[in-house]
């Protein structure tokens, strides 16, 4: 029987292999996951909805079906982000408006995970409706970074990232509508891939996935886990667009080592914000590593019109925020003015109510133009390297969704971000790689982005970089010593 230290050393791929080979039981892994959750979650607050008893019962049942444990990831412990529905558990979406809402069905992506035999322990904390870059909702309190408890985990998949970095599970469900997989991955020292739009099972629980800008996947400690879990949700019947002529099994093609890639490097902020020296160094070091691996590296300026993309995405997110909030307000029979929502959520909903159908169409048209710009860019370059964030991980409380000074909140939001959201607008695959630590020992991610449909290439490059410069697997707070 594995002990907790054994458990912490395993990624999901290794767990699945051990289950197939009979080295351990599903109940043993899930018991250790629950043990680690009891150890660390009271401090870091990564899990806000617990389903431990149900998970232990499911694992015990899987042990009685050994043939099931030979099937992919069956028996591996897992967590769902609290923006997606899991039948029978509370679905709060990080908001006090939904504090007692029990899901009567499971989201499409959750059904895929359940069908794969994953054992879901519960749900992870998220900011209200996933609307910001840190995970400190009024509904559930802040999630603390396992690398340093005074710092943010990023957002909006901050609970998922903290749970993985703290060793509760090896991989956890996450979503990304403007950087919400990549930013927490950067802050918590994980690998985080936002897949190409249209490849994966569509999230339908909140606002139709923000006009296609939001996609679901996972945060993980290893690239191979991300590839394996992408296989679970990349399905013919889920694809909105024709699939390119690429390997359908992402995990099976990680051994294909890319060579001679044309890699562009963006080392200036699209809106002129200053970059922290540690952020600059992370990008420079990664570019040098790529050169040492035989790739062709070129420094470039901004590849597309970020300002028009940002303006368009802001309109779309506000419109969808109004739609989401207003639907719940109608169910509760209350007005927005008195609703128990955070100040920035209220402001975004109010703005969304004012935008017209013409505004919506113009915003979509703006993003189409930016998609075309990036398609032209990728005729010349295979991959774009850039920062994930302008600064190293922010301290808790620095970006407060419920502040009374919304102008300052907006200024900080813009100054902290700027790189990730463009690729939600264009639908390209984009990943954060934990290849650097700042002077305080906190992780700093570097972002790699490829053309639409080139998820396999991005995973192959990520695996190559992971092998060349391995990163720590768990945060110091997770250690049992």
Cα distance between the two ends of the chain = 19
Residue 98 DSSP one-character state: G
Range of the domain at 333: 4-478
Q: Tell me, yes or no, if 180 is annotated catalytic.
A: yes
User: pLDDT at position 238, please?
Assistant: 47
- Residue 460, classed as helix, strand or coil, is helix
C-alpha span between 253 and 275 (Å, rounded) = 35
Q: Which of 156, 157, 211, 366 is catalytic?
A: 156
User: pLDDT at position 202, please?
Assistant: 63
Would you state the torsion angle of the CA atoms of residues 200, 68, 161, 276, taken in this order, to the nearest 10 degrees?
-60
CATH of the domain at 174: 3.90.1300.10
**Cα torsion 308, 203, 54, 89: sign:** positive
User: pLDDT at position 249, please?
Assistant: 78
C-alpha span between 14 and 220 (Å, rounded) = 13
Residues of the chain with pLDDT under 70: 202-208, 235-248
Number of structural domains, the chain?
1
**Do residues 447 and 419 touch, judged by C-beta distance below 8 A?**
yes
Q: Tell me, yes or no, if 81 is annotated catalytic.
A: yes
Helix axis angle, 343-354 to 406-416, nearest 10°: 90
**Do residues 447 and 182 touch, judged by C-beta distance below 8 A?**
yes
Per-residue pLDDT reduced to its tens digit, 272-306: 999 999 999 999 999 999 999 999 999 999 999 99
User: pLDDT at position 200, please?
Assistant: 82
Q: Tell me, yes or no, if 186 is annotated catalytic.
A: no
Q: Which of 180, 226, 344, 417 is catalytic?
A: 180
Plot region of 272 (φ>0 → left; ψ -120 to 50 → alpha; else → beta): left
Q: Which of 193, 203, 62 minimizes the C-alpha distance to 120?
A: 62
Q: Which of 25, 27, 31, 81 is catalytic?
A: 81
């Amino acid at each position: 029987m594995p002990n907790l230290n054994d458990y912490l050393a395993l990624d999901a791929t290794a767990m699945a292999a051990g289950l197939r080979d009979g080295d351990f039981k599903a109940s043993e892994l899930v018991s250790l996951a629950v043990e680690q959750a009891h150890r660390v979650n009271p401090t870091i607050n990564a899990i806000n909805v617990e389903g431990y008893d149900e998970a232990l019962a499911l694992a015990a049942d899987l042990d009685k079906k050994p043939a099931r444990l030979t099937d992919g990831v069956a028996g591996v412990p897992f967590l769902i982000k609290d923006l997606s529905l899991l039948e029978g558990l509370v679905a709060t979406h990080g908001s006090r408006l939904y504090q007692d809402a029990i899901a009567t069905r499971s989201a499409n992506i959750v059904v895929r995970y359940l069908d794969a035999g994953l054992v879901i322990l519960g749900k992870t904390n998220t900011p209200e409706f996933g609307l910001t870059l840190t995970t400190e909702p009024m509904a559930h309190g802040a999630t603390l970074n396992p690398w340093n408890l005074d710092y943010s985990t990023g957002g909006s998949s901050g609970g998922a990232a903290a749970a993985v970095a703290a060793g509760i599970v090896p991989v956890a469900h996450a979503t990304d509508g403007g950087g919400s997989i990549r930013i927490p991955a950067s802050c918590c020292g994980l690998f985080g891939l936002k897949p190409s739009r249209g490849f994966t099972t569509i999230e339908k629980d909140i606002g139709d996935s923000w006009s296609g800008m939001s996609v679901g996947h996972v945060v993980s400690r290893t690239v191979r886990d991300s590839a394996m879990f992408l296989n679970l949700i990349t399905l013919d019947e889920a694809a909105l667009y024709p699939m390119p002529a690429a390997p359908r099994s992402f995990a099976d093609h990680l051994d294909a080592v890319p060579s001679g890639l044309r890699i562009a490097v963006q080392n200036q902020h699209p809106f002129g914000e200053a970059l922290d020296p540690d952020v600059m160094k992370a990008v420079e070091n990664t570019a040098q590593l790529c050169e040492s691996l035989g790739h062709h590296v070129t420094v470039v300026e901004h590849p597309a019109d970020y300002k028009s993309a940002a303006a368009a995405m802001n309109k779309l997110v506000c419109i969808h925020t109004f739609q989401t909030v207003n639907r719940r307000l109608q169910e509760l029979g209350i007005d927005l003015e008195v609703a128990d929502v955070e100040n920035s959520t209220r402001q975004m909903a109010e703005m969304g109510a004012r935008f017209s159908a013409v505004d919506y169409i113009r915003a979509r048209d703006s993003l189409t133009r930016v998609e075309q710009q990036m398609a032209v860019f990728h005729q010349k370059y295979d991959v774009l390297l850039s920062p994930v964030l302008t600064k190293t991980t922010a301290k808790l409380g620095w970006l407060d969704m419920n502040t009374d000074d919304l102008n300052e909140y907006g200024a900080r939001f813009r100054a902290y971000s700027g790189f990730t959201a463009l690729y939600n607008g264009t639908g390209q695959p984009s990943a954060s790689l934990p290849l650097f630590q700042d002077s305080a020992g906190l992780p700093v991610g570097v972002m790699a982005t490829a053309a639409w449909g080139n998820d396999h290439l991005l995973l192959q490059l990520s695996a190559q970089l992971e092998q060349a410069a391995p990163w720590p697997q768990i945060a110091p707070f997770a250690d049992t010593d």
